[in-house]
Amino acid sequence: MTSTAAADVLKPDFAARRKHFIFNDEHEALRESIRNFATKELAPHAEEWEETTFPNWVFPRMGELGFLGLDKPEQYGGQGGDYYSALVLAEEIGWARSGGLAMGIAVHTDMAMPPILKFGTEEQKQEWLVPAIKGQKILCLGITEPDAGSDVSGIKTRAVRDEGSGEYVINGSKTYITNGHRADVIVLVTKTDPDAGYDGFTLFLVPMDLPGVIREKKLEKLGMHASDTALLAFQDVRVPDSAVLGQVGKGFYHIMWELQGERLIGAAGCVSGAQRCFEMTLKYAMERKAFGREIGHFQVIRHKFAEMATKIETARQMVYMTAWRFQNGEYPVREISMAKLYASRIAVEVADECIQIHGGAGYMKEYGVERVWRDMRLNRIGAGTDEIMLDVIGRSYGL
C-alpha cells in the first residue's frame, strides 16, 4: 500500500463557493450586478423608505438597467433570459435591505407582468408590458377583497357587460393591494357570471386613472413598510372589450396559474432573506462577548446556527429544484406549494432565532433583524397562507 502524499489529503473547504447547477456564469455575473446596484443605490435609503415608502424612480432606474424584464422576451424590451434569471433578481434584490421594496418590484415583474405576457393581446402587450419592462408604467394585481382572500372563488367584484355600449361596467373593492397607490394599471380579477362557478371569472386590465377607480386609503402594516398597500374601490368603472385579459370566463384558471410563479419567487425571496439575516447574525455572534468569550462559541449558539443553516439550505434546494422543473416545462404545483410553505416558515423561524442570538440588540431597530422578522412574517400569509399551501399539498394526494 502506498502512503498518501500530504497534497492528496482531502480537507473540507467550507469557504469555497457552491454554485448550483441551475446557474451558469451569466447568471453569476447578473447576480453581481444586481447586488452592486441594490447595495449602492437602494440600501443607503432603506431606513428612510421605511417611513416614506420607496420612490417611483426605482422602477425606471431598474428598467434602464434591464432588471425588470430579465426573463421576458426581447421583442418586448426584455432580456430574453430564462426563469433562473428571475430567481436571481428575487434573491439579490434582498441587498436593498428593504422587504417592502423587494415586494413592490416582485408584484410588478413576477405577479402582474406574467399574465399580461401569457394571456394578453399584442395591443395589450404594447400598451402595458413594453412600458412596464422599461419601468415607465407601474403594475399591480387585484385578487383579494375585504370578504374574500384565501377563497378566491368568493370574490364579489362584478364586471357586467352593457350590451348598449359594448363596454363592461365594474363594481367592487379590492384590499391589501401592493403598489395600489402608485400603479398605472391593475390586473383585476372579477366575476362575470356568478352562476358559472369556476368558469364565471374574467381578468381585466384596468387603467387606474379611469373615472370610478378610487384609491381609498394607505393601509398601515406590521412590516414591509417601504411598500404601499391599498384599499381600492371600483364604482361603475367602464372599460371596453379590449380590456379583457385572456379569455372571458377563464379568469380563475388564469389567476391560479399566475399564483404559481408568484409563490416560487416569494419562496426564493424568503431563502435569500433568511440567508442575509443569518450572515448578519453570524458576524454579530463572532464579535459579541459574554462570560469572556464570543457568544458564537457557546455550543448552544453554535447549534442554533447549524439548525438555521440546515433549514436554509433545505429550502434553497427545494426552490432551485422546483425552479428547474418549472423551467423545463413542468407545472409542479405540489412542489411549488411545498417550497412556498417551507421557505416562508423557516424564514420566520430563522429571523426569530437571529433576534434571540442578538439578545436585547435584536429587539432594537438599529440592528435590522427585527425588521427582517416583521417583513418575513408576511410570507406565511401573502400569496396563499400556510394553511392553504397545506391544503393544496394534501389534496394533491387525492385527499
Interface residues with ligand FAD (CB under 6 A) are 107, 141-144, 149-150, 176-178, 221, 224, 229, 378, 381-385, 387-388, 391
Buried b (16+ CB within 10 A) or exposed e, 327-346: eeeeebbebbbbbbbbbbbb
Q: How many residues does the chain have?
A: 399
- Least separation in angstroms between CB 97 and ligand FAD: 18
* Nearest CB to ligand FAD, comparing residues 199 and 391: 391
- Least separation in angstroms between CB 171 and ligand FAD: 17
* Nearest CB to ligand FAD, comparing residues 86 and 232: 232
- Least separation in angstroms between CB 234 and ligand FAD: 14
- Least separation in angstroms between CB 47 and ligand FAD: 19
Q: Assign residue 166 a region: left if phi > 0, alpha if psi is -120 to 50, beta otherwise?
A: left
- Least separation in angstroms between CB 16 and ligand FAD: 38
* Nearest CB to ligand FAD, comparing residues 316 and 340: 340
Pairing of the two strands 229-240 and 293-294: unpaired
* Nearest CB to ligand FAD, comparing residues 53 and 281: 53
Pairing of the two strands 213-218 and 229-240: antiparallel
Residue nearest to ligand FAD (CB): 149
Query: Any bridge partners for residue 172, and if so which?
Result: 234
- Least separation in angstroms between CB 63 and ligand FAD: 20
CB atoms within 10 A of CB 118: 13
Q: What are phi and psi of 150, to 5 degrees?
A: -60, -40
Query: Environment class of residue 268 by beta-carbon count within 10 Å: exposed (0-12), middle (13-18) or buried (19+)?
Result: buried
Cα separations (Å) of 291 from 34, 288, 295, 296, 298?
A: 41, 10, 8, 12, 10
- Least separation in angstroms between CB 170 and ligand FAD: 15
* Nearest CB to ligand FAD, comparing residues 184 and 391: 391
Q: Assign residue 11 a region: left if phi > 0, alpha if psi is -120 to 50, beta otherwise?
A: beta
* Nearest CB to ligand FAD, comparing residues 74 and 387: 387
Find, among 115, 80, 92, the residue nearest to 268 by Cα.
92
Give yes or no: 145 in active site: no
Query: Can you spell out the DSSP letters for 187-218?
Result: EEEEES-TTSGGGSEEEEEEETTSTTEEEEEE
Query: Any bridge partners for residue 294, and if so which?
Result: 289
* Nearest CB to ligand FAD, comparing residues 202 and 229: 229
- Least separation in angstroms between CB 190 and ligand FAD: 12
Q: Which of 127, 145, 262, 353 is catalytic?
A: 262
CB atoms within 10 A of CB 122: 9
Query: Which cell numbers in the block locate residue 112?
Result: 402582474
Whole-angstrom distance, CA of residue 90 vs CA of residue 313: 17
Whole-angstrom distance, CA of residue 327 vs CA of residue 320: 10
On whether the CB atoms of residues 132 and 68 are closer than 8 A, the answer is yes
* Nearest CB to ligand FAD, comparing residues 30 and 140: 140
The catalytic residue positions are 262
